[in-house]
Chains A and B, each alone.
Chain A
Amino acid sequence: MTEPILRLEGVSKTFGGLKALTDVSFALQPGEVVGLIGPNGAGKTTLVNVVTGNLRPSWGRILFEGKDVAAQKPHEAARRGLARTFQIVQPFPQMTVLENVTAGALFGGGAASVADARDMARRSLDFVGLAPLADRPAAQLALAARKRLELAKSLAMNPKVLMLDEVNAGLNSSEIDGALALIRRIAERGVTVLIIEHLMKVVLSLSKRLLVLHHGRMIADGPAREIVADERVIEAYLGQKYAAKLKELHHG
């Protein structure tokens, strides 16, 4: 095994008395596509926020390329190559689609000049298929296009690790298929991808490895097929009663 690109060691985050994350540890290998699942309120978004410097972990270490980055600020994370998309999209509404992506290339992607950044942004828009909408104000886009804009913006930042926080939420099934194809092509470029998802179908079709978060604890980490059969995971998702029933069905 090679050196992991991102490693969390015993990361906890508390808000007053509330434990949002408890002793979370895992590692991502370069180029891996990993799914992070868990019921509502499990702490998935908190985990992303801790990794990208939006929140500081209360305890634990976050190692990016071997360096402890737990105290970083969001802009430092972005410049290091830790990019993310937001569950609720965060465009610059009055700017055009092209300007939005140019911002990503200029400040996060290390472009030498504004003109340089604009070229990078154009390539990134071509890649996600938004080039025809380049001159529209971002506020005018429909949800599916806005999610693509978020992707284009993070791609323009030349990320090493890309965390996608529910990029498919609110999309219809054909839009989801389009998004999945896109994420696959991003992974093919060698970007390490962590997909935070609700929809099992999405996660299973993309990643061979799954992490499961429940009440802020990492309750499972392993190959996707094993994880979905794991009792604790089924319990977390469906409740104890159904888990017991399911067990009876299998053994009965």
Chain B
Amino acid sequence: MKSGPLAYALLAAGILVLATTPLYADNYVVRTAAIVAMYGALATSWNFIGGFTGYPSFSTAAFFGLGCYVGAICQRAGVPMMLAWLIATLMVGAFAALLGAIILRLRGHYFAIGSIAVVEVCRLVVSSWSSLTGGGDGLNLPLLHWAPEELMRFFLFVMLGILMLSLIATFLVDRARLGFGLRCIHQNEDAAAMVGIDTTRYKVAAYTLSAVFCAAAGAAYASWTGYIDPTESFQILMTVKVPVMAMLGGAGTLAGPFLGAAAFVLLEELFWANFLDWNRAILGVVIVLLVFFLPGGLLSLARKAKSKAGSGGAA
């Protein structure tokens, strides 16, 4: 699936809008922009395993939460903040590679359930291992004594940076042997093995890629909020929301997951602000409608319009 010029334009415009919010908007808007960038990075990460490879992973919150904790524990041990983020990214990446070699033997629904279990197991281990993680009391991180605007702007650019890295990785994978192989696995895994694709290695690579940016975002998020606990870090809701965002925009495309995340976060804020009692229900209805009437995601609208305009040309 190739992204058209319209998708690239939307992507560039979206990132530009997010990056310039500190120039003209208040702290609430800048904070929302940082959240959009963060979810954009998470959805773009999920895209490697869920979009390219077609494995419905619900492990996002596990990687995010482990990223939070590894980063927090490192920072409490005196490791500088950015180095702690890097350590969290690498450690969670290694964890995903080991775990992937085991649970990627499952296919379809079985894989989906296995990947959800990962989130729960991680949460339970973290809440029980009090000596290291503080258990249910959570962990405090060294506070950043900056002005609120400065803090918000800093983390907006950190999240945008992680988003950009995940997009660059997607761009490169899409054009390389790896992306081709993953799309083959998506279409027909047995046939993929028969043409010489080492399917296990490719799937592990996709799963690991889907973990590293989540871990980086998690570690940065922990430093941003200054306090983490197991329920906040390993949210089942996050693990469900992220795939919905990617599919909302268009799974398997470069720009789709980010655009889906932006649309989702904005809808969520809109309903939250205007319908305090009913926001979850309304959001649910919107998701159901989108799944029924727009299964290819928002980007498929652009593609449809283009094929209508270009009908009569070469098929």
Contacts and interface: CB of A to CB of B under 8 A. Distances in A.
Are A and B co-members of a single complex?
yes
Interface of A: 52, 73-75, 78-79, 84, 86, 90-95, 102-104, 106-109, 113-114, 135-136, 153, 157
B102 interface: no
A103 B193 contact: no
A75 B193 contact: yes
Given A90-B188, A95-B187, A104 B195 contact: yes
Given A103-B180, A114-B180, A157 B196 contact: yes
B197 interface: yes
A78 B196 contact: yes
Interface of B: 175-177, 180-181, 183-184, 187-188, 190-199, 314-315
Nearest to A93: B187
A155 to B, nearest CB: 12
B175 A103 contact: no
Nearest to A80: B196
A107 B175 CA distance: 15
Contacts of A84: 194
Given A84-B194, A93-B187, A107 B176 contact: no
Contact of B190 (A90, A104, A108, A113): A90
Contact of A103 (B176, B184, B198): B184
A91 B176 contact: no
Nearest to B190: A90
Given A91-B191, A106-B177, A114-B175, A75 B183 contact: no
Given A114-B176, A135-B315, A107 B188 contact: no
A75 B180 contact: no
B78 to A, nearest CB: 46
A108 B195 contact: yes
Contacts of A136: 315
A86 B194 CA distance: 10
A95 B197 contact: no
A157 B191 CA distance: 13
Contacts of A75: 193-194, 196-199
**Interface hub of B177, B191, B199 (most chain A Cβ within 10 A):** B191
Contacts of A114: 175-177, 180
Contacts of A153: 195
Contacts of A74: 190, 193-194
